[in-house]
Amino acid sequence: MRLAAFFVAAIALLLAVVSFVLYFSFAANISSNVEGNFASEQAQNAFVARTVHHLRSEILLVDGAILVLVSGAGFLLARRTLRPIQRNLEAQKRFISNASHDLRTPLAVMKANLEIAQRYGAAADDRDIAVSSSLEEVDRMGRMVEDMLTLSRIDARQEELQFSVVDLSELLARIVEKMRPLAAGDAVGLDVVAAADLNARCDADHLQRALMNVVRNAIQHSPSGSTVEIGAARVRDRVEVAIHDRGPGIDGDDLPHIFEPYYRGDETRSPGRGNSGLGLAITWWIVEQHDGTIDVSSAPGVGTTVMVSLPLAGPS
Ligand SMILES: Nc1ncnc2c1ncn2[C@@H]1O[C@H](COP(=O)(O)OP(=O)(O)O)[C@@H](O)[C@H]1O
Ligand SMILES: [Mg+2]
């Protein structure tokens, strides 16, 4: 609001100066140009007065119209400029409250574990449980902090990719092996069907991370006993990777926002403990850096399919 008002005031001042200059120079022009064409001096003066009056009202009218237009445009412009900043601020606020909550929980669990180990440490069994549970929490926190760092590097344009030709079917096989323990822990099956020789120019580490975020989401939202299906096929000069789960799907209200940093659907708070809401934002950036696209289709109650399309490496 203040920005818009300032803008309008500056324009008004400029208009006033221009109008005064125009008014006085025209008025002087009129009185010097009409000389001699009138029967009497009185008639001439009356004509000049009328014309100058006319001129004044016209200038005022045009000024008024310009001011109204400029105020409207200024207000709209200010709102448009500020909206992304405001949204960013809200997202950061949301993140700070989520992150402090989510970092406090693993810390509390670890503290309890350490106390158990200290008190009953003589029994090897208790100690082992306490240690492995703490290690899990450390992994969770590590992933959150890693995501936060990556996103700030992306924002600062410091995250760099190194491209080489990579076989995506091998990359997918690697991802699935890495995700098996998580899937097994949730009693979720993992199926991959990938065509051979899907060579793409990509940064293998980053692309692996991008796809792993999607696969992790699929596993975390899958009901136990169901299977996450991953398929990769060549479609013309691109490769399409589809990741399908039979989870609860994504709410229509959430769908437009899931790629925003820090955004998390409400119902994921429990399955996604240790999730920062940054996964898909990072995935989006990585896919974009590969000239790829990512689409999500989801039907509540039926499941979610995430489709990533990447250009294949041309014959070199
Ligand atoms: N396969 C899926 N099924 C249901 N909801 C999903 C799925 N993938 C993503 N989402 C929704 O998108 C949100 C953002 O995902 P993401 O960026 O990975 O954040 P996080 O997993 O840390 O919550 C999730 O909080 C969840 O609401
Ligand atoms: Mg996630």
Map tokens 């940093």 to a residue: 261
pLDDT for 107-160, tens place per residue? 888 898 888 888 876 677 778 888 888 898 898 888 888 998 898 899 889 999
Q: What is the pLDDT of residue 269?
A: 47
Taking 50 as the pLDDT cut, the residues of the chain under it are 269-271
Long-range contacts of 75-82 (CB under 8 A, 24+ apart): 75/1, 75/4, 77/4, 77/7, 78/1, 78/3, 78/4, 78/7, 79/4, 81/3, 82/3
Q: What is the pLDDT of residue 290?
A: 97
- Which CATH code of 3.40.50.2020, 3.30.565.10, 3.30.200.20, 3.90.1150.10 fits the domain covering 164-311? 3.30.565.10
Q: What is the pLDDT of residue 316?
A: 54
Q: What is the pLDDT of residue 273?
A: 59
Atom from ligand 1 closest to the CA of residue 266? 27
Q: What is the pLDDT of residue 238?
A: 95
Q: What is the pLDDT of residue 125?
A: 78
Atom from ligand 1 closest to the CA of residue 276? 22
Distance, in Å, from the CA atom of 238 to the CA atom of 309, rounded to the nearest integer, reads 7
Q: What is the pLDDT of residue 282?
A: 96
Nearest protein CA to atom 12 of ligand 1, as residue = 258
Distance 71 CA to ligand 1 centre (A): 42
Atom from ligand 1 closest to the CA of residue 259? 17
The ranges assigned to domains in the chain are: 2-85, 98-155, 164-311
